[in-house]
Amino acid sequence: MAFELPPLPYAVDDLEPYMSSQTLHLHHGKHHQTYVTNLNNLTRDTPQATISLEDLVKATAGKPEQQGIFNNAGQVYNHNFFWRCMKRCGGGALPAALENKIVEDFGSFEKFKEAFIQAGLTQFGSGWAWLVLDGGKLAVTKTGNADTPLAHGKTPLLVADVWEHAYYVDFQNRRADYLKVFFESLVDWEGVAARLAAA
């Protein structure tokens, strides 16, 4: 069965004015779709087309001869995850269990926020900023290009796409402004809390 582009979990203009419908049309409809199309072209009529996306990411990670498949599988996985990290009227107060765990592992919510935004800012070139669960503790990490914590035995809880295609239409080169708006007005904290509870 071919890999598919999941529909957005909200309307294309639901994230306005923080993330424009133009950005979603391009980012989801063109960039994300291209990774899906490439992945299907690379795996067509092979056993790799029949396994789950998660298993394909793990199976191809760190293997130079599988780099092309990993790049596209990782980008499909990361984008599938990214869309589910946001919602209409996102941001705001955190569910208590999530906030308590953040304070326990980072010292304060503000320290976590600073670490997450800093990870996105200091990811040189294209990549991703993450909140993960690693050995029972929350941690902030960043990955380059298509890399993903899934390939490193960590459980992803939240991600910000910091490829330029994620913010250039709305923020031009101002990655810091995009990350602040993402964090304060777009994140679906209930979803993050649900993933933490299920981990």
Least Cβ distance, residue 162 to Fe ion (angstroms): 9
In the bound state with Fe ion, the residue whose beta carbon lies nearer, of 57 and 166, is 166
In the bound state with Fe ion, the residue whose beta carbon lies nearer, of 116 and 128, is 128
Cβ–Cβ < 8 Å for 128, 160: yes
Tokens, residue 141: 């990490």
Dihedral pair phi/psi, residue 158, rounded to 5°:
-155, 140
Q: Is 174 helix (H, G, I), strand (E, B) or coil?
A: coil
CA separation for the pair 103, 107 (Å, rounded)? 5
Least Cβ distance, residue 146 to Fe ion (angstroms): 10
Least Cβ distance, residue 129 to Fe ion (angstroms): 12
Of all residues in the shown chain, the one whose CB is closest to Fe ion is 161
List interacting residues with Fe ion (CB under 5 A): 161, 163, 166
Tokens, residue 127: 């990549």
Least Cβ distance, residue 144 to Fe ion (angstroms): 13
In the bound state with Fe ion, the residue whose beta carbon lies nearer, of 112 and 178, is 178
What DSSP assignment string belongs to 60-94? HTT-GGGHHHHHHHHHHHHHHHHHTTB-TT--SPP
In the bound state with Fe ion, the residue whose beta carbon lies nearer, of 113 and 168, is 168
